[in-house]
Amino acid sequence: MTHSLAVRFAVVRFTSLAAVTALLAACAGVPGGNAPAPTDAGAGSRNDPVSDFEARQREQAVSAERQGKWGEAVQAWEVLVTLRPAQYRERLAEARHRVDLLATERLQRARAELKKGELDAAEQSYLGVLALQPEQAEAADGLRGIERARNKRDYLGQPSRLTLTRKPGARIAPSEQSIELEHAAMLAGQGEYDEAIGMLQKRLDASPRDAAVRRALADTLLKKAQALQASDPKAAREAVQRCLKLEPKNAAASALLKKLPAG
């Protein structure tokens, strides 16, 4: 099975500005009688931890810009702006502008790659967007869409790797069955009810006496009905009726059927 989506596009964040601000405040809060000695303009001092921190942070921001790491540069300038807003505001604005341009370029490339069905390339482009803008919603949604597309391709659009070497009518090993049931549950959890139902129905058609698959299919049909009862009562009724054909004594399905309008 594929790795979870969270692992695919987790983005490591720098220390929050609030924590950095607290650090600066702690550095500046030297007890009375120990005030830092005056220093030359633009230079840090061994006795001035705030100035030393500022110099290191400024060097980090400039170095990130030179290497084209604009996401890191923005975060470094943001820290400096909390220290000296007037001095670093323009540099921060310039870095943010570069980030916006690069993120837009990568987003457009990801859309084009996704349209061509180049899932791996699109995934890398979306991850590139998130490296610049971790909160970018379209990129995050795009990665979720790629994950769903892979699921359909690997499990629904073609024979599963678990069935390629299995003879017709051969019984599924318990471990293989649990994997397929788990995948169907994952699809249902993402709201992909029809895909999950299709997978389970095929499995039940191949093994009509498989009680575990029958229960899983009935449960997925019930979940679909519950999700659609307000927006599409007709489809909800059809799903719950299929559920009851599989499990006539399903109390939750019977109760839901009574609430739904007659078809």
Task: Write the CATH number for 210.
Answer: 1.25.40.10
Distance CA 143, CA 123 (A): 6
In a domain, 253, yes or no: yes
Instruction: Say whether both 109 and 193 belong to one domain.
Output: no
Instruction: Say whether both 9 and 103 belong to one domain.
Output: yes
Instruction: Say whether both 213 and 242 belong to one domain.
Output: yes
In a domain, 38, yes or no: no
In a domain, 159, yes or no: no
How many domains is the chain partitioned into structurally? Answer: 2
Q: Tokens 């540099």 correspond to what residue?
A: 91
- Of the residues 121, 151, 181, which one is the last residue of a structural domain? 151
Instruction: Say whether both 85 and 202 belong to one domain.
Output: no
Instruction: Say whether both 126 and 178 belong to one domain.
Output: no
In a domain, 157, yes or no: no
Instruction: Say whether both 210 and 121 belong to one domain.
Output: no
In a domain, 195, yes or no: yes
146 membership: H or E segment, kind and range: helix 137-151
Domain that holds residue 204: 165-259
From the list 69, 48, 27, the residue with the least C-alpha distance to 77 is 69
- Of the residues 151, 182, 217, which one is the last residue of a structural domain? 151
Residue 89 CB coordination number (10 Å): 13
Cβ neighbours of residue 239 under 8 Å, at least 6 residues apart?
193, 221, 222, 224, 225, 228
Distance CA 243, CA 218 (A): 5
- Of the residues 97, 128, 151, which one is the last residue of a structural domain? 151
In a domain, 68, yes or no: yes
Instruction: Say whether both 63 and 135 belong to one domain.
Output: yes
In a domain, 23, yes or no: yes
Q: What are residue 45's DSSP bridge partners?
A: 48
Instruction: Say whether both 10 and 117 belong to one domain.
Output: yes
- pLDDT at residue 7 in the model: 36
Instruction: Say whether both 17 and 96 belong to one domain.
Output: yes
Instruction: Say whether both 138 and 169 belong to one domain.
Output: no
Instruction: Say whether both 222 and 138 belong to one domain.
Output: no
In a domain, 34, yes or no: no
What is the pLDDT tens value at each position of the chain, 263 positions in all? 334 443 343 333 434 444 444 445 544 443 433 434 444 444 444 557 788 888 998 999 899 889 888 888 888 898 998 888 999 999 999 999 998 999 999 999 999 998 888 888 888 898 888 888 888 888 888 888 887 777 666 554 444 433 333 444 444 444 445 566 777 787 788 788 898 899 899 889 988 888 888 999 999 999 999 999 889 999 999 999 999 999 999 888 899 899 888 76
Distance CA 103, CA 100 (A): 5
Instruction: Compute CA 119 distance to the chain's CA centroid, rounded to the nearest angstrom.
Output: 16
Instruction: Give the relative orientation of helices 193-206 and 211-228 as an angle to the nearest 10 degrees.
Output: 160
| Whole-prediction pTM | 0.45
Instruction: Give the relative orientation of helices 85-115 and 137-151 as an angle to the nearest 10 degrees.
Output: 30
- pLDDT at residue 169 in the model: 47
Instruction: Say whether both 133 and 54 belong to one domain.
Output: yes
Contact between residue 160 and residue 154 where contact means Cβ atoms under 8 Å apart? yes
Cβ neighbours of residue 179 under 8 Å, at least 6 residues apart?
1, 162
- pLDDT at residue 178 in the model: 59
